[in-house]
Amino acid sequence: MIDVLLYITFILFSFGQLGRISFFGQQVNIYIYEIPLVLLTFFLLIRSKLEPIKNFYKTFPAVYWFFFWLLLTFLVGVSHFSLFQNSVGILYFLRLLSYFLFFFYLLYEAKKNKKIIVTLTRCVEIFIVLTIFFSLIQYFLYPNLRNLQYLGWDPHLFRLFGLFFDTSLAAAVYGLIFLFLILKWPIALFIFIYFVFILLTYSRMVYLVFSTVFILILLSKKYFKPIGIFILLMIVGLVLIPKPGGAGVNLLRYFSIQSRFSDYQTALQIISRNPLVGYGYDRIRYVKEALGLLAQNEADISHAGAAFSSSYLIILVSSGLIGLTLFLASLVQLGIKNKTWGFFILFIALLSLSDNIVLQPFVLFLLFSFLILTTRFDRSL
Where does the pLDDT of residue 228 fall: very low under 50, low under 70, confident under 90, or very high at 90 and above? very high
Name the DSSP class of 21: E
pLDDT at position 127, please?
A: 98
Where does the pLDDT of residue 260 fall: very low under 50, low under 70, confident under 90, or very high at 90 and above? confident
Cβ count within 10 A of residue 342: 18
Q: Is residue 380 part of a domain?
A: no
Alpha-carbon span 226 to 260, nearest angstrom? 34
Contact (Cβ atoms closer than 8 angstroms) between residue 318 and residue 75: no
Task: Supply the pTM of this predicted model.
Answer: 0.94
Q: Which helix (H) or strand (E) holds 94?
A: helix 83-112
Q: Is residue 86 part of a domain?
A: yes
pLDDT in tens, 311-359: 999 999 999 999 999 999 999 999 998 899 999 999 999 999 999 999 9
Q: Is residue 107 part of a domain?
A: yes
Where does the pLDDT of residue 245 fall: very low under 50, low under 70, confident under 90, or very high at 90 and above? low
pLDDT in tens, 45-100: 999 999 999 999 989 999 999 999 999 999 999 999 999 999 999 999 999 999 99
Q: Is residue 38 part of a domain?
A: yes
Q: Which residue has the higher pLDDT, 293 or 352?
A: 352
Contact (Cβ atoms closer than 8 angstroms) between residue 62 and residue 330: yes
pLDDT at position 380, please?
A: 56
pLDDT at position 61, please?
A: 97
pLDDT in tens, 106-122: 999 999 898 999 999 99
* Domain that residue 267 falls in: 2-373
pLDDT exceeding 90 applies to what percent of the chain? 78
Cβ count within 10 A of residue 183: 17
pLDDT in tens, 150-177: 677 777 788 999 999 999 999 999 999 9
Name the DSSP class of 79: G
- Our count of domains for the chain comes to 1
Q: Is residue 165 part of a domain?
A: yes
pLDDT exceeding 70 applies to what percent of the chain? 94
Q: Is residue 323 part of a domain?
A: yes
pLDDT at position 247, please?
A: 66
Q: Is residue 381 part of a domain?
A: no
Contact (Cβ atoms closer than 8 angstroms) between residue 46 and residue 296: no
Where does the pLDDT of residue 379 fall: very low under 50, low under 70, confident under 90, or very high at 90 and above? low
Read off the pLDDT of each residue in 5-12 and give the average, rounded to a whole number.
98
Read off the pLDDT of each residue in 351-377 and give the average, rounded to a whole number.
95
Inform me whether the pLDDT recorded for 288 exceeds 70.
yes
> Per residue in 42-77, is it b (16+ CB within 10 Å) or e — as a string?
ebbbeebeeebeeebeeebebbebbbebbbebbeeb
Strands (E), the chain: 20-23, 28-31
Determine the 3-state secondary structure of 27 from DSSP.
Answer: coil
Q: Is residue 236 part of a domain?
A: yes
Inform me whether the pLDDT recorded for 361 exceeds 90.
yes
Where does the pLDDT of residue 104 fall: very low under 50, low under 70, confident under 90, or very high at 90 and above? very high
